[in-house]
Amino acid sequence: MSSGDGAVGGIPGRSPGQSGPYPLHGNASVHGVVQQESADPAADVIGYRGPTACAAAGITYRQLDYWARTGLVEPSVRPAYGSGTQRLYSFRDVVVLKIVKRFLDTGVALQNIRTAVQHLRARGDRDLERMTLMSDGATVYECSSPDEVVDLLQGGQGVFGIAVGVVWRDVEAALSQLHGERVDTGETLIGHNPADELARRRRDRAV
């Protein structure tokens, strides 16, 4: 069953005791991307302008602009309002941009990519860091353990995989060499490492 089959129910989740890779389904339309509201206000303190997001994700500005206008990957920190406004992307947005680029490069159908983007938007940071997305070109599957990846490969479904944690670290390394921007003050942060901000947020939540 294709992940773009229009199944009702939005973003899937694991029920208690459920294990194994499962296909992602959704009814994502052109503007159907689910934007997760951050439970942590600090998550939106740092933003990255379009050129910075492009450099870290390895995409062109034309791709970035098209994906924002069609609702595939929209900037969650600050969208563009008119001609004089700069879009600001969050760290997670840039991770998603890089994943979308990898899926497109391997020929995964755009509708299935939209469904995967919905799914990524709804998951927490810790879920993303240990998640692997697999695809056979027709369906996108989530795997959360090496055993699930092996099961999928043995079943013949998965021919391409993206370890989200690896992409996460790649984006961290790239952004640490680029400029970020504080949303509250407009201050430019040179060589800001998003890992530092994420670590601080986790410490704050643990207190």
Q: Considering the entire predicted model, what is its pTM?
A: 0.71
Q: Which two tokens stand for residue 170?
A: 């790649």
In 3-state terms the chain splits into helix, strand, coil percentages (rounded to 5) of: 45, 15, 45
Q: What is the phi/psi pair of residue 157, to 5°?
A: -85, -40
Straight-line distance from the first to the last Cα atom of the chain, in angstroms, rounded to the nearest whole number: 44
At residue 98, does pLDDT exceed 70? yes
At residue 137, does pLDDT exceed 90? no
Q: What is the mean pLDDT of residues 31-59?
A: 67
Q: Which two tokens stand for residue 81?
A: 């309002």
Q: Output the pLDDT for position 136.
A: 77
Q: Output the pLDDT for position 7.
A: 24
